[in-house]
Amino acid sequence: MPDQSPSQPDPLEEKILRRIPFEVVAFAAFFAVPVGLIFSPLAGVFFLAGGALAAVGFLWLKSSLDRVLARGKAQALRSGILLYGLRFVLILAVFLIIILLYPKKLLAFAAGFSSVIPVFLGEAVAALAHIKQWKV
């Protein structure tokens, strides 16, 4: 396999990174239905909202990293820390608003927000299987 320069990302990686936000929302939507039926419709909505926020956060982090890494090293470090800090504060603000307004739905939102974890795990297993399949 030829070496790829940092400016030329692997097409498989780019395909996976574009697919992840859609998979997170689909995963959250799929499980929001049983959550809504078992607990309450509002819990299902919060589960889906958590997954949607996780997908938006992933997209924002990916685009921010692409822009930051295109800069010089010192400026990239400073900008990266600032953007990641801002992202962290915004996520905390959303959780705080939910805690204050809907404290009983926080767990549903957090579970939906965590739906990114099984999606990452599934993509990692699929990528590993793809790599093992083509190794000689």
Instruction: Give tens-digit pLDDT for 61-95.
Output: 888 888 877 777 777 778 878 888 998 999 999 99
Q: Are 57 and 87 in contact (CB under 8 A)?
A: yes
Q: Token digits for 9? A: 């990302």
Phi, psi of 50 (to 5 degrees): -65, -45
Q: What is the pLDDT of residues 11-40, one digit of tens each?
A: 888 898 999 999 999 999 999 999 999 999
**With 90 as the cut, is the pLDDT of residue 133 above it?**
no
Count other Cβ atoms within 10 Å, centred on residue 98: 19
> Over 70: is that where the pLDDT of 8 sits?
no
Give the pair of three-digit tokens for residue 105.
């739905």
Residue 1 pLDDT > 50: no
8: DSSP letter: S
Whether pTM > 0.85 for this model: the answer is no
| C-beta contacts of 21-25 below 8 A and 24+ residues apart | 21/55, 21/56, 21/58, 21/59, 22/55, 23/119, 23/122, 23/123, 24/51, 24/54, 24/55, 24/58, 24/115, 24/116, 24/119, 25/51, 25/52, 25/55
State yes or no: pLDDT of 3 exceeds 80: no
Residue 4 is given by DSSP the state: -
Check pLDDT > 60 for residue 5. Answer: no
Q: Say what the pLDDT of residue 119 is.
A: 97
